Amino acid sequence: MSIPQKDPHSIETTVKDEQLLAVTTEDRLPLTTNQGQRVSTDKYSLKAGKRGPTLLEDYILREKIQHFDHERIPERVVHARGAAAHGYFQLTQSLEKYTTAQVLTDTSLKTPVFVRFSTVAGSRGSADTARDVRGFAVKMYTNEGNWDIVGNNIPVFFIQDAIKFPDLIHAVKPEPNNEIPQASSAHDTFYDFISLTPESMHMIMWVMSDRAIPRSFSTMEGFGVHSFRLINAQNESHFVKFHWKPVLGVHSLVWDEAVKIAGQDPDFHRRSMWESIEAGNFFEWELGVQILPEADEEKFDFDVLDATKIWPEDLIPVQRVGKMTLNRNPDNYFSETEQVAFMTTNIVPGIDFSNDPLLQGRNFSYLDTQLSRLGTPNFHELPINRPVCPFSNNQRDAHMRHTINKGRVAYTPASLDGHSPEEERPGSGFNSYGQVVNGPKVRERAESFNDHYGQARLFWNSMAPIEKEHIVKALQFELSKVDTREVRVRMLGHLAQINDVLAAQVALAIGEKMPGSQKTEQPSGTSDVPALLEMLGNAESPTTASGGVLKTSGLSMMEGQPKLAKGRQVAILTAPGVSSMCIETMQKNLAEQGVAGFVVAPFIGDVEGDKGTVEAKKTFANSSSVLFDAVYIPGGTSVQMLKQLPDARKFIDEAFKHGKPIAASGEGVQLVDATMTGVLLKDADAKAQGVILDSAGNAKTVSSAFVEAISSHRFNNRQVDMIQA
């Protein structure tokens, strides 16, 4: 149908024109009701006369309003705020020795996946960068059914038994009397519960570390958390833990960045994933497995079924066996990201559960949750949840049944409609592992679950000094928000069991003194940072319940991470008079390494350079250094204007404070020099601190060293005490 063209700025129109404009939908199909009836317009309700009452017989109005009234489904109790993407998983090393699962044995398969990332405590409207555990849930649409690895970005959990889960969540959620605070663990009820639950101490160390404020979903590790079983063709069982290792390495924000980003861009993580995938910078992880023969179940001085414990990688190495790539954004947030239903019980033949008491409870909870949230036992028929392999059973009816089942047989055994009782073959398909179970019915915890501090010490010992400092500061912040002194003191008692220096440093910030401590003279955050870092670096604790190791690989984010610049974003500070050639050269060289360079100027739009215009999509008003991974200042007369802009100088100060790479060429070096007044940055060690300067103005030379600095992520060797940003 031809639609008359009107001046878009004209207010002159007719009812006839409005009706013509209303007869098609966004996909250009005719506008209809949900039953397919053509609608002339849904701009006006049916009335008795133009100014008369609306008529109840207007079924088009009723359908539209009722659909709107009911279009929200119950928010997830936990993991409410999520973002997701489609992709695929490709096995690179067969695990046929351990399992019959095709997805883990056939390297020729390319298995579709849908992955949802989330925060745990906050509501759907909370910010992405809150200090929190992150959900990392993977749905694999395998040829043998859906397999869900419903994990987190932290490999352990707060509690050992699922019966405590409602109490944990009630404690961490906003307090019921005033619904405060949102998306935060820094309050009385949470630490009251934690201080009375010593098994949580290992998890607290992870959550107070920088793991709880990831830089991006693409630099976030994922873990299956629980111990599962792999079952091979000989019916032999091996315990297994699943890991997702990011190809770009594990990197985080610092707390100052996380707080500022929450205000500037609360959608920081989801926006980054959406824009990166749209730009072709796909997110990638390698699947890793830790495999333990069943005969070695009791080999260690920690229980391998305890969800508050890791399997130290130095004792049980992680084998990397496949790769997952996320390469497509959802078409509809609600239909896919909100309606996707993950369940720990979604496993395939060749994989089975362990006796982990937290896992056993989750197996009940997830199905029950989906029935409540999605309103029907037929949630598996929604497109995002539907298996790619055929599925057929005798379950019928219930709300929103999509499948139209034919015939009269809805039972087994059956002999009607071509069925035969002999078609049932016990032993084929999925079978639970035939573990021998014998024991009295008791409500008790196994003695092997009783050590609550050994692996918390292991985690602390494995951290680099700067990571220990961040844990100290996180606990200082959190416990300073707790009003009840008794709770704060109880927490200090637990911290002292982990490390006396840790406890003493936290005690200083909340006005307490640890009995017998000789190491309380120097609180963190004072000017003598090197002395503090040295003290924290030497603050190791003897540990038990970790196989006898004092520290282990895979825990510190400062060690063993790949150095890649791909996926990073660079701010290019610009004003009129900028060197167009410098920007063009830098953006080109960055793009070749998968790095995006964004022009930031005093205004949006074309900026006049010395040899043509450059387009600014960001301004100093709508962005800051915390939204970028690095900063570049090109040469040109633009520098004179930038020197007069406090926001431009703050941009550089803040990037320097947060350890981010900074590069400048030509006159841009003058801006760095002017901004860094009072900061001892000698030419000899500037490059070692990630500051790349070239007064000659050679952007190509600068870009090479700049990319190398970006791949190092962050430089913690700077003296930042004088930085006021």
To 10 degrees, the CA torsion angle through 140, 146, 152, 157?
Answer: -150
Residue 640 neighbours by CB distance under 10 Å: 14
Question: Which amino acid, 330?
Answer: P
Which of 188-225 are b and which e, b meaning 16 or more Cβ less than 10 Å from the residue's Cβ? bbbbbbbbebbbbbbbbbbbbbbbbbbbbbbbbbbbbb
Report how far residue 354's alpha carbon sits from residue 230's, in angstroms, rounded to the nearest whole number: 10
> In degrees rounded to 5, what are phi and psi of residue 652?
-70, -45
Query: Could you confirm whether 170 is annotated as catalytic?
Result: no
- Residue 271 corresponds to which tokens in the numbers above? 């926006």
Active site (annotated) includes residue 238: no
Question: Across-strand partners of 115?
Answer: 85, 138
> Which member of 9, 34, 70, 152 is catalytic?
152
Question: Residues near 425 by Cβ (< 8 Å), separated by ≥ 6?
Answer: none
Return the closest-CA partner of residue 156 out of 212, 220, 223: 223
- Strand pairing category for 569-573 and 82-91: unpaired
Taking the C-alpha atoms of residue 585 and residue 591, their distance in angstroms, rounded to an integer, is 10
Report the chain's terminal Cα–Cα distance, integer Å: 59
Phi, psi dihedral angles at 2 (to 5 degrees): -80, 130
Distance, CA of 24 to CA of 2 (rounded, Å): 11
Q: Are 349 and 429 in contact (CB under 8 A)?
A: yes
Alpha-carbon distance of 20 to 37, in angstroms, equals 17
Pairing of β 110-119 and β 82-91 = antiparallel
Query: Please, are residues 252 and 112 in contact by the beta-carbon 8 Å criterion?
Result: no
Please give the angle made by the CA atoms of 493, 461 and 199, to the nearest 5 degrees: 45
- Which of 487, 395, 439, 448 minimizes the C-alpha distance to 185? 487
Place of tokens 């649409």: 141
Angle formed at CA 695 by CA 689 and CA 696, multiple of 5 degrees: 130
The pair phi, psi for residue 423, each rounded to 5°, is -70, -15
What the block records as the tokens of 277 is 């995938």
How does DSSP classify residue 291?
A: E
Tokens of 247: 């190809």
Residue in this structure with the two tokens 């392999």, named with its chain if needed:
389
What six digits make up the tokens of 433? 């592992």
Q: How far apart are CA 307 and CA 79, in angstroms?
A: 19
Report which secondary-structure segment, H or E, holds 501: helix 500-509
Give the H or E element holding residue 271.
Answer: helix 268-278
Among the options 9, 67, 70, 79, which is catalytic?
A: 79
Q: What is the sign of the dihedral through the CA atoms of 211, 213, 215 and 220?
A: positive
Distance CA 63, CA 333 (A): 22
DSSP 457: H
The dihedral of CA 555, 558, 559, 562: what is its sign? Answer: positive
Contacts for 521 with CB less than 8 Å, ≥ 6 apart: none
Q: Could you give the CA distance from residue 176 to residue 160 in angstroms, rounded to a whole number?
A: 25
551: nearest Cα among 455, 466, 460, 462: 462
Q: Tokens representing 144?
A: 């043998």
Give the active site residues: 79, 152
